[in-house]
């Protein structure tokens, strides 16, 4: 390599940084665990870095691209979601940005599944009984009961990578699945799951034959015991079917009063004020959240209301937070590895320098040849 590339990383992503340094890169890592101020990112980009490693905490828009005019060549996002990056601005400045899809799919899907079980079986309030010395007796139904997951019906909203992986976990629990996705219906996948359901039934492994089908959104909400959300955050104007406040008062009221809502996608997909009311007034049975409209969750959030604590699980944006998923330097296994590989592809001109062929670049449309 004849040029020494300069990179600024807005947070430490572990050993993958050394991997870049071993290739001769000069990498500066923002040393604090909190996100840097946007003005600092602007300053670093202005100083002429070739690459920026960003996370979902960093707003990446025209101000950043303008600061990097003539020098910034790539933004490598350490996440699959990229709602913090203004795609139109990146395209206008012709800066490719990459993400870390696929490697966090299973970790996120299993976390959503575990959240569903934790919520429904009331594991958090149950452990509190033990810890707070309130476990006074064994009783058939006191002080409370949970609901089984096995054999129930789950609505999966968004059947992309994580939604499909989540469905695979549900098969082992004999669940029926209502799928909804306005843009991507994977009927081959649905057929494969149905064949597995049929086989499990034929071999006597299940008493009832489980089923799976695509249905309209309202039908999915009305028919489900659990609703798990796996959509990207798309604001008005970014999609024909935006997901911002998809779960508002109207749609929450479509759910069964006993149904549980699980969200590992992005916070603004749910109108939190409406959800807090839904929980307080028992329009739905409960909710388990990993993501919020504002992160970290503000101290005065209505979701912190102790009156709903028994049916509202609050995780700290933790669904992909597993060792291999977060830190492996192998681009087939870890977000760190995939993030730096995306950066290397662009800076070192892999794939003959053709950005449209680079697997981790998201905004390929900005580089399509117009003949
Ligand atoms: P993906 O692009 O593979 O799948 C998203 C699916 O949502 C697509 O099939 C798309 O057609 C569908 N969709 C779009 N608009 C919709 C709408 N209005 N209603 C229903 N479906 C709609 O993405 P993925 O890899 O499965 O990730 C999904 C999202 O999960 C990411 O964008 C990210 O925001 C979030 N995520 C969160 C964590 C976490 O730590 N909590 C981890 C990973 C991903």
pLDDT tens readout for residues 64-116: 999 999 999 999 999 999 999 999 999 999 999 999 999 999 999 999 999 99
Q: List pLDDT tens digits, range 311-366.
A: 999 999 999 999 999 999 999 999 999 999 999 999 999 999 999 999 999 999 99
Mean of the pLDDT values across residues 121-147? 97
What is the band of 279 on the pLDDT scale with cuts at 50, 70, 90?
very high
Q: How far apart are CA 58 and CA 97, in angstroms?
A: 13
- Give the torsion through C-alpha atoms of 279, 282, 284, 285, to 10 deg: 90
Mean of the pLDDT values across residues 282-292? 98
Cα angle 312-297-278, degrees, rounded to a multiple of 5? 35
Predicted confidence at residue 3, as pLDDT, reads 75
Q: Nearest C-alpha to atom 14 of ligand 1 is from which residue? A: 231
Say yes or no: CB of residue 81 within 6 Å of ligand 1: yes
Q: Residue 192 C-alpha to ligand 1 middle, in angstroms?
A: 21
Predicted confidence at residue 1, as pLDDT, reads 53
Say yes or no: CB of residue 315 within 6 Å of ligand 1: no
Predicted confidence at residue 371, as pLDDT, reads 57
Q: Mean of the per-residue pLDDT values for the chain?
A: 97
Q: List pLDDT tens digits, range 45-66.
A: 999 999 999 999 999 999 999 9
CB 48 within 8 A of CB 71: yes
* pTM for the whole structure: 0.97
Say yes or no: CB of residue 319 within 6 Å of ligand 1: yes
Cα angle 87-89-90, degrees, rounded to a multiple of 5? 65
What is the band of 369 on the pLDDT scale with cuts at 50, 70, 90?
confident
Sheet strands (E) in the chain: 6-9, 26-29, 51-54, 74-77, 97-98, 153-157, 176-180, 212-214, 226-229, 260-263, 286-289, 312-314
Q: Residue 244 C-alpha to ligand 1 middle, in angstroms?
A: 12
Ligand 1 nearest-atom number relative to CA 241 = 18
Please, is 371 exposed, middle or buried when counting C-beta atoms within 10 Å of its C-beta (0-12, 13-18, 19+)?
Answer: exposed
CB 101 within 8 A of CB 342: no
Number of separate helices (H) and strands (E) present in the chain: 13, 12
Q: Residue 304 C-alpha to ligand 1 middle, in angstroms?
A: 26
Q: Which of 97, 113, 160 to mutate to test the pocket of ligand 1 (most atoms within 8 A of CB)?
A: 160
Say yes or no: CB of residue 101 within 6 Å of ligand 1: yes
Q: Residue 80 C-alpha to ligand 1 middle, in angstroms?
A: 9
Q: Nearest C-alpha to atom 3 of ligand 1 is from which residue? A: 160
Mean of the pLDDT values across residues 168-185? 98
Ligand 1 nearest-atom number relative to CA 321 = 40
Q: How far apart are CA 231 and CA 226, in angstroms?
A: 16
Q: Residue 207 C-alpha to ligand 1 middle, in angstroms?
A: 33
Q: Reading across the β-sheet that carries 260-263, which strands appear in turn?
A: 212-214, 176-180, 153-157, 226-229, 260-263, 286-289, 312-314
Question: What is the set of active-site residues?
Answer: 266, 295, 317
Cα angle 212-315-331, degrees, rounded to a multiple of 5? 70
Please, is 272 exposed, middle or buried when counting C-beta atoms within 10 Å of its C-beta (0-12, 13-18, 19+)?
Answer: buried
């Amino acid at each position: 390599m004849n040029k020494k590339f300069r990179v600024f990383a807005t947070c430490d992503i572990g050993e993958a940084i050394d991997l870049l340094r071993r290739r001769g890169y000069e990498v500066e890592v923002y040393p604090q665990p909190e996100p840097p101020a946007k003005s600092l990112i602007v300053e670093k980009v202005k100083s002429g870095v070739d690459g920026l490693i960003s996370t979902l905490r960093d707003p990446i828009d025209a101000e950043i691209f303008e600061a990097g005019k003539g020098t910034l060549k790539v933004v490598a996002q350490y996440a699959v979601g990229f709602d913090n990056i203004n795609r139109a601005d990146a395209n206008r400045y012709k800066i490719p940005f990459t993400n870390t899809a696929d490697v966090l799919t299973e970790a996120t899907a299993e976390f959503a599944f575990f959240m569903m079980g934790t919520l429904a079986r009331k594991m958090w309030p149950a452990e509190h009984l033990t810890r707070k010395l309130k476990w006074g007796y064994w009783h058939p139904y006191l002080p409370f009961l949970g609901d089984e997951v096995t054999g129930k019906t789950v609505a999966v909203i968004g059947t992309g990578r994580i939604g499909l992986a989540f469905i695979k976990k549900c098969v082992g629990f004999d669940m029926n699945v209502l799928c909804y996705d306005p843009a991507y219906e994977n009927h081959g996948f649905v057929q494969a799951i149905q064949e597995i359901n049929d086989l499990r039934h034929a071999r006597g492994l299940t008493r009832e034959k489980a089923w799976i089908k695509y249905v309209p959104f309202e039908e999915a909400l009305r028919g489900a015991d659990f609703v798990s959300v796996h959509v990207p955050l798309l604001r008005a104007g970014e999609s024909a079917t935006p997901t911002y406040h998809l779960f508002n008062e109207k749609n929450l009221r479509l759910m069964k009063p006993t149904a549980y809502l699980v969200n590992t996608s992005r916070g603004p997909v749910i109108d939190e004020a409406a959800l807090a009311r839904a929980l307080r007034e028992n329009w739905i049975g409960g909710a388990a959240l990993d993501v919020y409209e504002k992160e970290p969750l503000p101290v005065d959030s209505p979701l912190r209301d102790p009156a709903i604590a028994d049916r509202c699980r609050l995780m700290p944006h933790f669904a992909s937070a597993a060792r291999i998923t977060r830190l492996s330097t192998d681009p087939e296994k870890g977000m760190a590895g995939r993030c730096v590989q995306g950066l290397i592809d662009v800076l070192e001109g892999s794939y003959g320098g053709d950005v449209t062929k680079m697997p981790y670049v998201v905004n390929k449309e900005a580089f399509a040849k117009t003949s």
